[in-house]
Amino acid sequence: MTTTNGHTNGHSVRKLNFGAGPAQLPYELLENVNDEFLNYHGAGANIMELSHRSSTFAKVIQDAEQDIREILSIPESYAVLFLQGGATAQFSAIPLHFLNLKPSQTADYLVTGYWSEKAAKEAEKFGKVNWVVPKESKYQGVPTEASWKLSADPSYFYYCANETIHGIEVDDIPAVVPKDVPIVCDMSSNFLTRPFDITKFSVVFASAQKNFGISGVVLVIIRKDLVGKNTNKSIPLILDYKIQIDNGSMYNTPPTFAIYIASKMFAWIKQQGGLKAINERSDEKSSLVYQTIEQSNGFYVNFVEKKYRSRTNIPFRIVTSGVPDEKLETLFIKEAIQSNMIELKGHRAVGGIRVSLYNGISVEEAKKLVNFMSTFQTNNS
């Protein structure tokens, strides 16, 4: 049987998954994983059945680190860690390590949506947090930098590069942050969709299940010298960066299968032409959706300021008579499923519809979605 994305599946039609995570993986990668599933490189077992101390898995995690270092030009002064607990665990690990880095014992948090708000609230459990901008009732952009209230000498500045739920993307470090302030960034939902200079950051972390793998592993890229400055002796060992660095991400049993998939994705990204090619694809895919919204004469509405519109997560409403039409949105999702497109329902905090265009979604698949959007509008205007 032929799938919606042109591939065959012996049992059922393979659907296009526009979900916010766990997300769709490239089909050719899944085929490769399937080929290796019962007998990984002659080992007579699946990679997830082998010891994390085995030479076979050691090569997997070494290749993964080597590839991500190559993709991002990560210098040896940074550690690359494959950890558990998702990005959420880093909401605790970051302040535990670095809130006391400077005499102010204060961290600046730029809160632009659901996930940066959660991170700020978690950090407040461990010390003083300065909210750079007031909490918004609705997140639809980023307040102008002139209105920000930065601390005099914060231990670090924290922001989320892409808010998965609200569809807000900050594509570079804010210019008003002093250059001597360590920058910490949650890149979970736009990591490896565009090039960036890792040396501008002190810590970058990203959960894998959106752009480079499956749930179960979070990648942390961190300045080694910063870890050495930590004075907190009460950090739980599972969150302790020094312990993880000293043990090569294997103080305890790591998520071996998730690391294996991440390694496959890093190799796939290199095969596509690296981040330059991925960035161009990301631009093209998101432009297709935003153009369809803009040309719908108000039928589809995205409420995010254009400057901050995310390329990976696009929430929108279907509007009739000036208000969101939940019945039409329900019909949209139902008919999308009938057209073999799934996971388009918006997050409960925002409602409506959300399209996620991670690395596993091709340009051709994005075109199928916008064709459906246009047809749906024609049939329901």
Binned at pLDDT 50, 70 and 90, residue 11 comes out as low
How many percent of the chain have pLDDT more than 70?
97
Q: Is the dihedral of CA 293, 297, 302, 305 positive or negative?
A: positive
**Candidates 67, 102, 108, 210; catalytic one:** 210
Which residues are CB-contacts of 147 (< 8 A; sequence separation ≥ 6)? 133
The 10s digit of each residue's pLDDT in 14-33 is: 999 999 999 999 999 999 99
- Say what the pLDDT of residue 3 is: 47
Please choose, from the candidates 136, 135, 140, the residue with its C-alpha nearest in 3D space to the C-alpha of residue 124: 135
**What is the rounded radius of gyration, in angstroms, for the C-alpha atoms of the chain?**
21
186 catalytically annotated = yes
Binned at pLDDT 50, 70 and 90, residue 13 comes out as confident
The CATH number assigned to the domain with range 274-379 reads 3.90.1150.10
The domains of the chain are located at 32-272, 274-379
**Phi–psi pair at 214, nearest 5 degrees:** -120, 170
Class for domain 32-272, per CATH? Answer: alpha beta
Query: Could you report how far apart the first and last alpha carbons of the chain are, in Å?
Result: 34
Both tokens of 209, joined, read 């299940």
- Say what the pLDDT of residue 8 is: 52
Binned at pLDDT 50, 70 and 90, residue 7 comes out as low
108 catalytically annotated = no
How many percent of the chain have pLDDT more than 90?
94
Amino acid at 169: E
The 10s digit of each residue's pLDDT in 211-239 is: 999 999 999 999 999 999 988 999 999 99
Q: How far apart are CA 361 and CA 314, in angstroms?
A: 14
Residue 150, pLDDT above cutoff 50: yes
**Candidates 186, 240, 264, 268; catalytic one:** 186
Are the CB atoms for 353 and 333 separated by under 8 Å?
Answer: yes
171 catalytically annotated = no
**Candidates 115, 240, 264, 285; catalytic one:** 115
Mean pLDDT over the full length of the chain? 95
Residue 2, pLDDT above cutoff 70: no
